[in-house]
Structure 1
Amino acid sequence: MKDRIIRLRLLDLRRSIFKCWYIRPSFYVFLLLTFYALFLSKVPVWAHTPLDVNTNEQGENSTGLHAIWHDKGGESDIYSARQAHELGEFRILETAGSTGLSAGVFWSHFTLRNRDSHPLTLNIEYVDHQLVGLQAFSRKAGSGDLFREVSNLSIYEPFTRRQVAHNRFVFPVTIAPEATQELMVRFDSGELGVVFPSLRIWSPQALQQNSKGETSLIAFLFGGYFLMAVFALVGAIAIKEKILYIYSFYCASKILVWGTVLGYTHQYLMTGSFHWGYGSLSGAVAIMAGLVFARTFLETRQYTPKLDFLLQLMLLNGAFLIGCVFLELKALSQISMIIALLCYPLVVPIAMIRWRQGENAAGVFALGWATLVLGLLVQAMRDLGYVVHNPVNYYWPPVASFVEMLAIMAAIGLMVQRLRLQKDRAEKKYLQQLEVSKIDLEELVQSRTRELEAAKARAELEARTDPLTGIHNRRSFFEESNLLLKLAQRKQIPLGILMLDIDRFKSINDCHGHLIGDQALCATARVIAQHVREVDVFGRIGGEEFALLVSADGPGTLAVAKRIHEDIAKIMIKSALGPVQFTASIGVAQLQGERDVLELLQHADSALYRAKRTGRNRVLEYAVAEG
């Protein structure tokens, strides 16, 4: 039964992948080119004898691998190299074209012969991009003359200083008619790196044409990356999907890393200065972006937590690589980059596990990631000297990276399609439930509406009511009072205000506790409420301060204040220390053309302050002289 389920899943995966018209041909072309890059590409022949050259050189002739000397210390100059050559220390490079990851510098010796009767100018091209510096020396073969420097190229120099404008190192050589030119070339990969001592020979016109073709390929790839990044970003903004934002950044990082690695960043952007760490830095950004995308897309944190921890360690290594670049630790950055590339394939089995868990889009993702891994494998085998360097496997990693992004886009499409189907099924089920339980739902809505209305009414009441005493709070008092004041001004109705403060309220709290203090406030509010009519406004505006706005003239307002004053003095509250009694001070003011309640209340407050200052436990009216 288990085998049958696995076979069905494989069948579903195959149908999901190959029903996309743009993946099937890409997949077949990918397999064909990989097979060619690994097994069918021809190993060039590097002759030890002088190589005959002419004006029609198309880059098919390569030289430089027959006589190689490795200076592990990296301090040798042309004199040391010439001495090593005379001592027979130059050897044939035994690999398919690479020195492998080695420290120090490498020297190459070769000769070029011009059989024509006119001078011949050629461009000698270093075949790869992983080189810090190249120094070339030349002399007429058999003359015994000293070698003279014909080129000194470095990535640290401005691009404008290059003798030939090309993303890789290229230097010109001029050979006299019917003469043989002897050359010594120094390859410097820095503290630790890979060198391809092979050099291709071009006529200037042929190199220019080839460069246009390569630039067109890179422009196509970068244009595809750019379009995918833009489309994903637009989609992310439209549907607010996090995975599309990450995919857009991942696409953009591809442009950054391959543009830097292949030398186009130095050629077109950072022409004035460059640094060895730019390649490692851009690589770290692309690797970390890919890992963040993989974690998000595969949902490893939720479904494969143990493997997600491994991805987190890989992200940590990416951060370490960035730190090594900023600290100028080139050897450590190289090691960190190797670890990152070795761990990168681990994403494929993680994706396959998610596919076995039922996520079909993870299978397409695994195919895309495996494409990139295979491209990086081709590059690693070429760097280690197991596969010969040629244009196909040179550009195969960025092409494989492009195919990976296409496959991931298809996987995102499958994921979005699955989510849409799930949404459609959920909506259909929901509609069915609505039809079945329409009456119950309407009753529930009505019940909930009543509850919300009741809750709203309670909330409005609580917002306008003092929670302790149950009367108007400060905000509610001012709102109601201003309405009453405007009505009184419009209809010429007399209006008075009382501001009341419990005397020595703090001592009640200190001696008897806050519970007794709260009871005193509530009792005061109840006493005052007994004198409040429907046309009056009563509220608590401070800690122990109350305000009462009454529709009465001066004597009537003063009479209300005195009755309240007398009733408050009669209040008695039981406590553990015995009965508690207290008094109140009241300030009274009458409406005399004030613009709002606050101004009127300030007059009452002035009278209250005078009552407090003159001994408390009294009722005083506001005198105009106080203003």
Structure 2
Amino acid sequence: MRHFSVIVLKPRPFAIFSSSVCYHRRNFSLSLLGFFMRFLLSLFLFFGLVWADEIRYLIDEGNTSIEEMMQKPADAFLPYAQGKMGFGFTAQAYWLRIVVTNESAQNQEKVIAFDYPTLDTISMYETQAGTVIAQERYGDIVPNTRTQTLQIFFHTTTIAPQETKIYYARVTTQGSMILELSIDELQNFYPKMLTEHIGHFLYYGITLGLLIYNLFLFIGLKERTFFYYVMFHFWFVVVQISINGFGTWLLWGEWLWLNTFLTPFGMVLASLFGALFAHHFLSLTHRFLRVVVLVNAVALLAPFVASFGQATILAIFVSSLTVILMLGVAMYELVRGGNQQAKYFLIAWGGLLVGILLLNFKNSGLLPINFVTSYGSQLGAVFEMLLISVALIRKYNALQESLTKQAVLLDQQEAYSAKLLHQSRTDPLTGVYNRRYFFEKLTQTPPTHGLFLMMDLDYFKAINDTHGHDAGDAALIAFAHHVAAQLPKEAIFCRFGGEEFVAFVPYDTHDTPLKLAQHLVDTTPEIRLEKFPSVHLHVTIGVALCQAPIDIDSALKNADTALYRAKVAGRNRVVIFEA
């Protein structure tokens, strides 16, 4: 009761490669000769040239009983048609007439296997001389009918030499009616199923590895593209294991309703996350993508309100439409702007679309059943995963390169911003704070007490006039560095303008700042200018004592008054402002 599948009854050709039906007349050894003989026999069986056992089918027009079926002659049943036993979604039941013959001289153990694991019910009858001697019931909605070793339904029987057994099977399903039947000797059956399982688990192993890889990329990069890709393939795999019977066999067991529910629900979720992945992978901004997402979101309600068949048909339509639309958008992006990611997307999802359409058309009865149509979606998914993984690696590398360039650019911008900030705060000649930033610093953290020192180089104009402006510049630089080296680290020092400098020095007692001012006056004459050895410097300082609350403008005015008084008194000295 799930999956969109088709009923296929077939003698298993190419059994060494797939799960197709292979009918053998005798048991070949495992020698190399036996291997080639078995292969040639499979070819004969595939083209209908050799038939060891017989399978026929009949559509149940009503609720026909097994007794009525046994009364019908063999030619009332239609012959098996290789690869054409897919009937799509149908409410009709199908009867199978299976003749198993042993023409050897030894007992044979044979297996009648229904290779499509999502048929709802299979009522199996063993008859003899027009009488039912044994009956079994299998199916996707029949509890406790799967073995611990396989995900499909099968019946084993022992046939005596020259004996013929006739079985009837009535099959019903809400999903796609695919009668894919295989008859084989028991000793060959399990090795063939093992080969099929290796192929399945190899596919799921590759998928799991790529999912974990992309999940780690999402965790490390916090890039949603990888998350959407992981979720897309996660739900795609959920649909696959539901269709292939591995879900019920290995995961949710007898929660049969879950297997039926997850097929259409997982299909729409895979479509939804696929659209979101395409949106981010291709960096799209198209508004109609919102409509695609909305349609998929609405389709998620179908499994809750509709039958399995209706919900599955809707899911097939919505998912196929979504893939086609995404491919159209990718083509547009590639042609319009040369989007290289779109090239990868087109090739990868084009292969995935072909695989999905082959499977859907097979399940709808529009295409014959063969290896390509049965495993098309898995082949397309592997192709898509490998190619998109390459594209994601390229996208990741491009992202890393872009982030590296952005980091370098950001460092350069920060360095440039720091340089501009420094230039806006400092005097370009001396390198100490400028007047604007001096006031800004005092405003940011208003002082509670301290000294304002206003300093003026004595006879600076004479230095410029006598020795030139280069000597004046050298004098200003040397004096600024000298004062900055003497001031405590909490002091604020700036070039106020021309040859004037101002410092604010916090203090606990008056003595230390006053001694500092006098020290500057005493040591300034010791400054030597390397290129102008004949230039001697002297400084005059006006001092204003401040108490909280400090009025900066008034304090500077007082310091300037003290400086003027010091100059009048003969320069090269310290004068403290007194009102």
Q: TM-score, normalised by structure 1?
A: 0.56
CA separation in 1, counterparts of 2:228 and 2:442?
Answer: 47
CA separation in 2, counterparts of 1:129 and 1:228?
Answer: 27
Do the aligned residues in 1 keep the contact of 2:176 with 2:363 (CA within 8 Å)?
yes
Do the aligned residues in 2 keep the contact of 1:364 with 1:408 (CA within 8 Å)?
yes
The 1:164–1:224 alpha-carbon spacing in structure 2 relative to 1, beyond 3 Å, is closer
1:57-456 equivalences in 2 (<5 Å): 60=42, 67-71=56-60, 75-83=63-71, 85-86=72-73, 89-92=76-79, 96-140=84-128, 143=129, 145-159=130-144, 161-162=145-146, 165-190=149-174, 193-275=175-257, 276-300=260-284, 302=285, 304-306=286-288, 308-319=289-300, 323-327=301-305, 329-343=307-321, 344-356=323-335, 357-423=337-403, 440=420, 442-443=422-423
Structure 2 counterpart of 1:294, one-letter code: A
CA separation in 2, counterparts of 1:105 and 1:451?
Answer: 94
The 1:107–1:245 alpha-carbon spacing in structure 2 relative to 1, beyond 3 Å, is same
CA separation in 1, counterparts of 2:439 and 2:84?
Answer: 85
SS in 1 for 2:176: coil
SS in 1 for 2:67: helix
Do the aligned residues in 1 keep the contact of 2:126 with 2:132 (CA within 8 Å)?
yes
User: Offset at 1:153?
Assistant: 0.4
CA separation in 2, counterparts of 1:450 and 1:272?
Answer: 84
SS in 1 for 2:110: strand
User: Offset at 1:181?
Assistant: 1.4
CA separation in 2, counterparts of 1:146 and 1:288?
Answer: 53
Do the aligned residues in 2 keep the contact of 1:260 with 1:282 (CA within 8 Å)?
no
Deviations 1:103-143 (A, max 9, x none): 22111223222112333221111232341122222224xx3
The 1:441–1:362 alpha-carbon spacing in structure 2 relative to 1, beyond 3 Å, is farther
Do the aligned residues in 1 keep the contact of 2:87 with 2:178 (CA within 8 Å)?
yes
User: Offset at 1:177?
Assistant: 2.2
Query: Any stretches of 5+ residues in structure 2 without a counterpart?
Result: 1-11, 16-22, 29-37, 428-433, 447-546, 550-579
User: Offset at 1:99?
Assistant: 1.4
The 1:96–1:445 alpha-carbon spacing in structure 2 relative to 1, beyond 3 Å, is farther
Do the aligned residues in 2 keep the contact of 1:156 with 1:273 (CA within 8 Å)?
no
CA separation in 1, counterparts of 2:247 and 2:393?
Answer: 32
Q: Which moved more, 1:161-170 or 1:88-97?
A: 88-97
CA separation in 1, counterparts of 2:330 and 2:364?
Answer: 28
1:449-598 equivalences in 2 (<5 Å): none
The 1:290–1:81 alpha-carbon spacing in structure 2 relative to 1, beyond 3 Å, is farther
Deviations 1:132-161 (A, max 9, x none): 122222224xx3x223444310212344x4
CA separation in 2, counterparts of 1:211 and 1:439?
Answer: 73
Structure 2 counterpart of 1:372, one-letter code: L
User: Offset at 1:326?
Assistant: 3.0
Do the aligned residues in 2 keep the contact of 1:65 with 1:108 (CA within 8 Å)?
no
SS in 1 for 2:369: coil
User: Offset at 1:340?
Assistant: 2.1
SS in 2 for 1:147: strand
Identity %: 17
Deviations 1:248-283 (A, max 9, x none): 223332332222221111111122331222322332
Deviations 1:422-444 (A, max 9, x none): 44555676778789998546436
The 1:241–1:326 alpha-carbon spacing in structure 2 relative to 1, beyond 3 Å, is same
Do the aligned residues in 2 keep the contact of 1:228 with 1:251 (CA within 8 Å)?
no
Deviations 1:178-205 (A, max 9, x none): 1111221212122xx3223241112222
Q: Which has the higher helix share?
A: 1
CA separation in 1, counterparts of 2:269 and 2:178?
Answer: 26
User: Offset at 1:77?
Assistant: 3.3
Q: Which moved more, 1:437-446 or 1:256-265?
A: 437-446
CA separation in 1, counterparts of 2:398 and 2:282?
Answer: 14
CA separation in 2, counterparts of 1:97 and 1:266?
Answer: 25
SS in 1 for 2:113: strand
1:29-44 equivalences in 2 (<5 Å): none
Structure 2 counterpart of 1:370, one-letter code: G
Do the aligned residues in 2 keep the contact of 1:106 with 1:186 (CA within 8 Å)?
yes
Do the aligned residues in 2 keep the contact of 1:125 with 1:201 (CA within 8 Å)?
yes
User: Offset at 1:90?
Assistant: 2.9
The 1:358–1:452 alpha-carbon spacing in structure 2 relative to 1, beyond 3 Å, is farther
CA separation in 2, counterparts of 1:294 and 1:452?
Answer: 53
The 1:349–1:88 alpha-carbon spacing in structure 2 relative to 1, beyond 3 Å, is same
User: Offset at 1:168?
Assistant: 1.8
SS in 1 for 2:368: coil
Do the aligned residues in 1 keep the contact of 2:146 with 2:152 (CA within 8 Å)?
no
CA RMSD of aligned residues (A): 4.0
Deviations 1:284-313 (A, max 9, x none): 33222222222222233x2x223x144224
CA separation in 2, counterparts of 1:173 and 1:54?
Answer: 16
Do the aligned residues in 2 keep the contact of 1:99 with 1:194 (CA within 8 Å)?
yes
CA separation in 2, counterparts of 1:207 and 1:172?
Answer: 10
Structure 2 counterpart of 1:133, one-letter code: T
Deviations 1:448-498 (A, max 9, x none): x9999999998999xxxxxxxxxxxxxxxxxxxxxxxxxxxxxxxxxxxxx
Do the aligned residues in 1 keep the contact of 2:207 with 2:382 (CA within 8 Å)?
yes
SS in 2 for 1:109: strand
The 1:54–1:316 alpha-carbon spacing in structure 2 relative to 1, beyond 3 Å, is same
User: Offset at 1:213?
Assistant: 1.5
The 1:138–1:163 alpha-carbon spacing in structure 2 relative to 1, beyond 3 Å, is farther
